[in-house]
Amino acid sequence: MIAENVEVAESFASKTLGLMFRKSIPKNSALLMIFEKPGKHGIWMPLMRFSIDIVFLDSRKIVVGLHERVRPIGLRKRTWRVYYPEKPAKYAIELPAGEIKRKKIAAREVLRFQGV
């Protein structure tokens, strides 16, 4: 199991807001973003206060992109980065930093979750 507590972001506004303005993401929690169509949707980190891991999944829930310990955008331009999947993704999961390594999530792995 990747997380016990999963918040789902489906609307444009909830996906845009993501985890902005929060102090942290609790252990064993995740934010699941669901996109209307598979694509190379980007995740960026403005107004974030903490690092996260990002897992991208295709429509079959196969891992198509992993980004570990993604840091928030800072004042220096070199921190202004958008994170994309390697292949078109239908879902993005934002997790506390270090969870990809801790849970041993790997590319091409199939992840299962209910209700979506």
60-101 tens-digit pLDDT: 999 999 999 998 887 777 778 899 999 999 999 999 999 999
Query: Which residue type sits at 33?
Result: M
From the list 50, 55, 64, the residue with the least C-alpha distance to 103 is 55
Token duo for residue 17: 């807001």
Higher pLDDT pick, 85 / 1: 85
Q: Which CATH architecture has domain 5-103?
A: Sandwich (2.60)
**Could you say which DSSP state residue 62 is in?**
B
Query: Which residue type sits at 1?
Result: M
| CA 35/CA 37 separation, integer angstroms | 6
Task: Considering only CA atoms, give the Rg of the chain.
Answer: 13
The pTM (predicted TM-score) of the whole model is 0.89
From the list 70, 94, 104, 111, the residue with the least C-alpha distance to 5 is 94
22-37: pLDDT as tens digits:
888 888 889 999 999 9
- The ranges assigned to domains in the chain are 5-103
